[in-house]
Structure 1
Amino acid sequence: MVQSSVLGFPRMGANRELKKATEAYWGGKISQEELINTGKALRAAHWKIQKEAGADIIASNDFSFYDQVLDHIQLFNAVPERYRKYGLDAIDEFFAMGRGLQKPAKDGKPAVDVTALEMVKWFDSNYHYVRPTLQDGQTFTLAADPKPVREFLEAKAQGVITRPVLVGPVSFLHLGKPDRGAKVDPITLLDSLLPVYEELLTKLAEAGAESVQIDEPVLVLDLPEKTKKAFGPAYEKLASLQGKIPKITVATYFGDIVHNLDVLPSLSKAAGIHIDLVRAPQQLDEVISKLAPGQVLSAGVVDGRNIWKTNFQKAIEIVQKAVQTLGAERVIVSTSSSLLHTPHTLASEKKLPEEVADWFSFAVEKAKEVSIIAKAVTAGPESVRAELDANAASMNSRATSKRTNNPAVKERQAAVTEEMHNRKSAFPDRIALQQKNLNLPLFPTTTIGSFPQTKEIRINRNKFTKGEITAEQYEEFINKEIEMVVREQEALDLDVLVHGEPERNDMVQYFGERLDGYVFTTHAWVQSYGSRCVRPPIIVGDISRPAPMTVKESKYAASITKKPMKGMLTGPITCLRWSFPRDDVHQSVQAQQLALALRDEVVDLEAAGVKVIQVDEPALREGLPLRAGTEREKYLDWAVKSFRLATTAVQNDTQIHSHFCYSEFQDFFHAIAALDADVLSIENSKSDAKLLKVFDEKAYPRHIGPGVYDIHSPRVPSEQEIKDRIEEMLVSLKPDQLWINPDCGLKTRQWEETRAALKNMVSAAKFFRAKHAQ
């Protein structure tokens, strides 16, 4: 019998109950007990959903109040001392590592002021994990009440025997980093970490767990030899515990493992190996040929990263091929990865066009899909004939729909020339004209774009969406918000202003709603990090811009100040990556369509008198293929061309900015330079200034604004803290190329902390301006 499994389920709940509870707890509106009870209720509901869907193997320990890697940092007592010294309880220590903590002394307790651990993208997804930060002489011990055991017993009490999910020892260390000032190589800590896994797995077995899922996603990467060699001792140690610990399935995802097949003998004692056959179907034969006798293949044929229905015919063919070689008892039908990256359920969507909704499948529906595929292979297609016929009809409907094809868009794409990717003049000529036009001081200050989205903004947007206020009333409200933001920036004495984006719900959704070729959901939220959720728009067809999207607001903002006003756009790659893209057309085609739409917007902004235009591309690094080689260079070629196509139609005196966050530029610095943006702003404050070293080693000829403080934390950096960061920057960058700005947009922050942080930032910039004045 072919079984079915789900590698993990979304945490937030159908109505984002987890987001609301965590934010209420942070705001002091609910107790810790109420927060914990919300988590328990969500876990129970999600296990029940999967069981009722017919999934044979259901995950536990896939839930987190913030991030699953952060859970393991605390599980292994790998918490840096700077968080331990305050005597915080486990929950507050956990959140302090995730988002920082700043609070005054009270009731005899000392003041707390600690920044968050570094947060980076989870492989090439839009999810962010908290990076393990390790010390010289690092030790590991198992938490007194291990979360994986506790949650397994929770499910067991509800009649669900789950398969606990753990981040594997090699991946945990490989994804970690030495703390600032430490010199430890994380992978050398394996011998210290393995006894903790042994203890944890033993406790899980004692609790009744029959199997565990150990995620080793780093196997899809190009690994250094020392990391590859670590799999041997790690899994030989775990293999020696057979009979004392649950059976192990080693899970990989987001790519193929063919280049690391020499590691598989080290995993020969594992009961099963999971591979992603959505992202890398070509690896099936080679992986099967390397499986140990009796070893099970978990075939990831249901997409854990996108919202399209699974093509049952194709998935069944893949699974049958595996069954023909291995036998039914050695094959499991599975999601390709955790369903964390998909929305909760399609049932919540009441406003999607019926034709389009028929093409989609969210987490609840995907849990059913694995069960249907498994049953079709085990009992034959007639056992699920109705489901197969309905699926085939959905596939045909999408392939033949007029929504997917726009001849005018294709005609415009065919007319794109190489010259359209180039600015009129080189940077030295441009910057001279820009400086004359903008008249900016040394160390110019700006923000990344958004300002706090207050409760009043959300209420009025909701009223407008529901038709409770007119378009004229909503525009009047937005203009008042823009004016308030402009006056706040003038009072702070920022040099280049923004309009604050009060009219925007999300940096991609806002644009998608104004482009043809997209559709939108009302409840399809996906976790990005912590309590932050996004509702990605869905690309269903060829993309074009029917009308200007941002000109009205930017033009108004520019008209009420004498300072330069920066227009704000989201770049083509980020619009693509932070949407659910089509899977029937290459992403390069979709990116070029987006670039042409944005090119029109850039030209219209310039014509409206906006002479600084920022086109954000924070997802450029995210889209980079995980492995070096031809595919990576092909991606960078079309990604860079898309950005340039969007931005090069302006005159020399219009200044083009771009923004990047969570970007490790070492892998693709040449592509960043090739964008030919006049000014880059980058996330920097949580990266221990490592990004600056790249710019130091590889001379960068244009202007750059490394973030001086972390906007994901509510803490306010002192003026001296910002001065120290600027001093660090000047080791790598010249005074006349350095801009001063936060790490990212300020949308999620409160006004009080925003004013205080920006006041300190401007003061620090003025200090260096005076110091370097000639």
Structure 2
Amino acid sequence: MVKTYAYGFPKLGKQREFKRLIEGFWAQKVTEEELREGIKELGQKREETYRKYVDAFPQGEMTLYDPMLDTALLFGVYKANSLEEYFELCRGKNALEMTKWFNTNYHYLVPDFEGREPAFKVCEPVWNRHEGATENVHIIAPFTFLKLSKGLPEGSFEGALKELTKALVDYVNSKGFKSVHLEDPALVMELSEEEWKALVEAYSLLSEVKGEVNLFTYYDSVDRLELLFELPVNGIGVDLVHDRGENLEQLKKIDPRGKKLFAGVVDGRNVWRNDLFKTAEVLRELSEKFDVVITNAAPLFHLPVSLEGATLPKELLQKVAFAEEKLKEIKLLAEILEGKEEEAREWVKGINNKFGEIKAVRERVSALKEEDFVRKPSYKERVKKQQEVLNLPLFPTTTIGSFPQTEEVRRVRLLYRKGKLDKESYETFIRGEIAKAIQIQEELGLDIFVHGEFERTDMVEFFAEKMKGIATTGNGWVISYGTRCYRPPIIYGDVERDGVMTVPEIAFAQSLTDKPVKGMLTGPVTIIAWSFVREDIPISEVAYQIALALKDEIRDYEEAGIKIVQIDEPAIREKAPIKKRNWKEYFDWAIKSFRLCHSSVKPETQIHTHMCYSEFGEIMEYILEMDFDVISIEASRSKGDIIEAFEKVNFDRQIGLGVWDIHSPYVPSAEEMKEIVERALRVIPKENFWINPDCGLKTRRWEEVIPALRNLVKLAGELRKETN
């Protein structure tokens, strides 16, 4: 009988029960007992879904925030004696730094060993997600945990890896787990010989585990896959979807050594239905050599829970699958191998249907020339004209884009979306909110204004609704971090604007003030990264289509008198391939798509971009090629560590390092913000330095935003006095 396994099913719940429970607890509307009981019930529902389709799955996957934090608490890196202390590490004054999980839009909390010797001791955490677990117990593997942490003393990795692996063995044996599911995606990174050696030596200790150990990799190929089959584990999970064929080639030459092969053949990151019969042939070939278990190629939490309730065109519904349907695909693959094909044939009937082609868009892309990706004149020439027009003071102050999305804003927007409020009434309400935001910014004394984005549900979904070739899902929620959710659109066809997208709101805001108001756009790479993207044409072509649509919008901004345009690209680092040897190909089209957006603007139009919560230091050379005028970057949780990256390059543009972590309700003082600025000014000339928050303010409350911005403006004023 063919065996099946699945992992990473979304914890969110079909009605976002997870979000309501956690945020209810934060708001003191849900007791700790109710929270624990609610999470337990949600976990039971997840297990019921698993059992409906597959033979086995991990136990203990349910985290209250992030599994990296749970691992740190389990092995004594941090201590939390209450749930309040647990969440303080997630979102309080001393919250851990947050960054992207590999090249996905999920954010994890980064364990930090700065100033401490790495030592590990099994602890009983305040949130024990392994309570009652016995089989396939889910744990982040030691190598991945340490590889994704920061602040390890130089030369300590090998010893720390041994110590953590030993602590893991002690934990598993003390609990009597029959089997464990170790997630080790960092093994797909480009690792040094020293790291491979440290891995093999440390993981030799896994031979002491009394139960079964299965090691899962995903998101890419493993460069030394044969070494994993030599480890004292029972099974190896590999990604056969995103591996560029490299894992499959290695498997042809590998001695199975009696290990199970968890063959990741169902895509956990994109929504397109599996070509089941083609995949079944791969599985048949592997089964001749390996003891194959059919599974997903990446955690399923990157997908919405279920197609149930999705508002998609009928033609598209026949081509896509969400997390629950991916479980179904695993089941159908097993049935094909067992000779039962009827349901599978019905499932794949519409996967090759073609629709959404726009001939004019394809012709426009094919006609692009190299000069279409180059802005003239040079930055040195245009910055002078921009300063003449804008006349900004030293340390200009601004925000990133959005202002608080209050309950009233969300309520009115929902009424409009459901057709219970007419367009004129809705637009009147939005203009009223914009007017309030402009007034608040005037009173605070900010230098560059934003309109607040009250009409926007999400920075990608909003644009998806205004472009042809992109569908929105209605109820297709995915967790980005903590309880923060978004609904990735589906890019299924050729993309172009369906009329102006943002100009009326920005122009209205500009009419209310003499201060410049930024036009706000989401860049092509981020739209791609936070969407599910078609795979029938090169991704570069999709990017250029989106860029041309944004280029048209910027032209309309200029005609409306908008002098500053911000093209947000928070995902540009995130979208980069995990292996650096594949970066050149990616950054070529990513940079060109950004430049295509703004290559034909007037010299005096100032182009901003914004990036956040990624490791940007290693891509500084690529960032500079984007040819923006001003960039804003997250710096508060990293305490300004990003500055080190600027010491290594000739950075000649203007920059705003975020001085306020907007993902926390904590309101920093001007003095706390100043610490980051003072460090930055050692490297960045004061003439090039802006003062701004880390990110948009939509998730915060006005009660937090106004005092924090007041402190931000106060800081800028103090800095100007000190430099005069």
Q: Which residue among 372, 375, 382 is the counterpart of 1:423?
A: 375
1:140 aligns with 2:120: yes
1:252 aligns with 2:251: no
* Stretch deviating more after TM superposition (221-230 or 619-628): 221-230
- Tell whether the 8 Å contact from 1:152 to 1:164 is kept in structure 2 after alignment: no
Once the two structures are superposed, residues 574-630 of structure 1 have per-residue CA deviations (whole angstroms, 9 ceiling, x without a partner) of: 01111111122221111111000000011111111110000000000011111112x
- Tell whether the 8 Å contact from 1:60 to 1:151 is kept in structure 2 after alignment: no
Q: List aligned pairs for 1:280-359, cutoff 5 A.
A: 280=243, 281-326=245-290, 330-349=291-310, 351-359=311-319
Task: Compute the displacement of 1:307 (Å).
Answer: 1.3
Q: Which residue among 403, 413, 430 is the counterpart of 1:451?
A: 403
Once the two structures are superposed, residues 155-187 of structure 1 have per-residue CA deviations (whole angstroms, 9 ceiling, x without a partner) of: xxxxxx7421111111111111128xx768455
Once the two structures are superposed, residues 639-666 of structure 1 have per-residue CA deviations (whole angstroms, 9 ceiling, x without a partner) of: 0000000112210000000001123233
C-alpha root-mean-square deviation of aligned residues, in Å?
Answer: 1.6
**d(CA) in 1 for partners of 2:642 and 2:322?**
37
1:93 aligns with 2:107: no
**d(CA) in 2 for partners of 1:673 and 1:188?**
38
SS at match of 1:290: coil
1:188 aligns with 2:159: yes
Structure 1: any 5+ residue segments left out of the alignment? Answer: 101-113, 154-160
Per the alignment, residue 103 of structure 1 pairs with none
Task: Compute the displacement of 1:313 (Å).
Answer: 1.4
Per the alignment, residue 767 of structure 1 pairs with 718
Per the alignment, residue 387 of structure 1 pairs with 343
**d(CA) in 2 for partners of 1:588 and 1:230?**
38
Per the alignment, residue 168 of structure 2 pairs with 197
Q: Which residue among 330, 333, 342 is the counterpart of 1:370?
A: 330
- Tell whether the 8 Å contact from 1:178 to 1:186 is kept in structure 2 after alignment: no
Residue identity in the other structure for 1:22: I
SS at match of 2:165: helix
- Tell whether the 8 Å contact from 1:723 to 1:764 is kept in structure 2 after alignment: yes
**d(CA) in 2 for partners of 1:236 and 1:128?**
31
1:695 aligns with 2:646: yes
Once the two structures are superposed, residues 742-768 of structure 1 have per-residue CA deviations (whole angstroms, 9 ceiling, x without a partner) of: 111001001011111111111111111
**d(CA) in 1 for partners of 2:179 and 2:350?**
36
- Tell whether the 8 Å contact from 2:105 to 2:480 is kept in structure 1 after alignment: yes
**d(CA) in 1 for partners of 2:408 and 2:627?**
39
- Tell whether the 8 Å contact from 2:266 to 2:329 is kept in structure 1 after alignment: yes
Which structure carries more helix by proportion?
1
- Tell whether the 8 Å contact from 1:97 to 1:115 is kept in structure 2 after alignment: yes
Residue identity in the other structure for 1:115: N
Task: Compute the displacement of 1:99 (Å).
Answer: 1.0
Residue identity in the other structure for 2:237: H
Per the alignment, residue 105 of structure 1 pairs with none
**d(CA) in 2 for partners of 1:408 and 1:736?**
45
Residue identity in the other structure for 1:450: S
- Tell whether the 8 Å contact from 1:75 to 1:147 is kept in structure 2 after alignment: no
**d(CA) in 2 for partners of 1:320 and 1:151?**
38
Task: Compute the displacement of 1:708 (Å).
Answer: 0.7
Per the alignment, residue 537 of structure 1 pairs with 489
Task: Compute the displacement of 1:287 (Å).
Answer: 2.8
Sequence identity of aligned pairs in percent? 40
Residue identity in the other structure for 1:237: L
Residue identity in the other structure for 1:218: A
Per the alignment, residue 469 of structure 2 pairs with 517
Per the alignment, residue 165 of structure 1 pairs with 138
Residue identity in the other structure for 2:537: V
Once the two structures are superposed, residues 246-289 of structure 1 have per-residue CA deviations (whole angstroms, 9 ceiling, x without a partner) of: 211110000001x223632552x211111001101342131353
- Tell whether the 8 Å contact from 1:174 to 1:187 is kept in structure 2 after alignment: no
Residue identity in the other structure for 2:464: G
Task: Compute the displacement of 1:438 (Å).
Answer: 0.5
Cα pair distance change 1:300/1:311, threshold 3 Å: same
**d(CA) in 2 for partners of 1:704 and 1:763?**
19
Residue identity in the other structure for 1:744: C
SS at match of 2:181: strand
**d(CA) in 2 for partners of 1:652 and 1:126?**
34
SS at match of 2:520: strand
**d(CA) in 2 for partners of 1:663 and 1:650?**
29
SS at match of 2:108: strand
Residue identity in the other structure for 1:144: E
- Tell whether the 8 Å contact from 1:174 to 1:227 is kept in structure 2 after alignment: no
1:497 aligns with 2:468: no
Per the alignment, residue 66 of structure 1 pairs with 65
**d(CA) in 2 for partners of 1:424 and 1:364?**
50
SS at match of 1:690: coil
Residue identity in the other structure for 2:251: V
Task: Compute the displacement of 1:414 (Å).
Answer: 1.2
Residue identity in the other structure for 2:52: E
Cα pair distance change 1:535/1:354, threshold 3 Å: same
Cα pair distance change 1:463/1:146, threshold 3 Å: closer
Q: Which residue among 549, 574, 578 is the counterpart of 2:501?
A: 549
- Tell whether the 8 Å contact from 1:66 to 1:531 is kept in structure 2 after alignment: yes
Structure 2: any 5+ residue segments left out of the alignment? Answer: none
1:746 aligns with 2:702: no
Per the alignment, residue 411 of structure 1 pairs with 363
SS at match of 1:177: coil
Q: List aligned pairs for 1:696-711, cutoff 5 A.
A: 696-711=647-662
Per the alignment, residue 36 of structure 1 pairs with 36
**d(CA) in 1 for partners of 2:678 and 2:257?**
60
Per the alignment, residue 128 of structure 1 pairs with 107
Task: Compute the displacement of 1:331 (Å).
Answer: 0.3
- Tell whether the 8 Å contact from 1:275 to 1:298 is kept in structure 2 after alignment: yes
**d(CA) in 2 for partners of 1:551 and 1:184?**
54
**d(CA) in 1 for partners of 2:159 and 2:259?**
29
Cα pair distance change 1:308/1:148, threshold 3 Å: farther
**d(CA) in 2 for partners of 1:290 and 1:729?**
50
Q: Which residue among 232, 236, 242 is the counterpart of 2:204?
A: 236
SS at match of 1:254: coil
Once the two structures are superposed, residues 96-143 of structure 1 have per-residue CA deviations (whole angstroms, 9 ceiling, x without a partner) of: 11111xxxxxxxxxxxxx321011100001001111112522322212
Per the alignment, residue 441 of structure 1 pairs with 393
* Stretch deviating more after TM superposition (362-371 or 451-460): 362-371
**d(CA) in 2 for partners of 1:239 and 1:539?**
46
**d(CA) in 2 for partners of 1:392 and 1:190?**
45
User: Number of residues paired by the alignment?
Assistant: 722
Q: List aligned pairs for 1:149-160, cutoff 5 A.
A: 150-153=130-133
**d(CA) in 2 for partners of 1:593 and 1:297?**
40
Per the alignment, residue 15 of structure 1 pairs with 15
SS at match of 1:766: helix
Once the two structures are superposed, residues 653-702 of structure 1 have per-residue CA deviations (whole angstroms, 9 ceiling, x without a partner) of: 00000001123233221110010100000011112322111112212011
**d(CA) in 2 for partners of 1:554 and 1:184?**
53
User: What TM-score, normalized to structure 2?
Assistant: 0.97
**d(CA) in 2 for partners of 1:297 and 1:119?**
33
**d(CA) in 1 for partners of 2:452 and 2:435?**
9
SS at match of 1:369: helix
- Tell whether the 8 Å contact from 2:4 to 2:334 is kept in structure 1 after alignment: yes
**d(CA) in 2 for partners of 1:162 and 1:305?**
26
Once the two structures are superposed, residues 516-569 of structure 1 have per-residue CA deviations (whole angstroms, 9 ceiling, x without a partner) of: 001111111000000000101110101111211000000000000010111100
- Tell whether the 8 Å contact from 1:298 to 1:331 is kept in structure 2 after alignment: yes
SS at match of 2:424: helix
Residue identity in the other structure for 1:402: F
Q: Which residue among 273, 288, 311 is the counterpart of 2:236?
A: 273
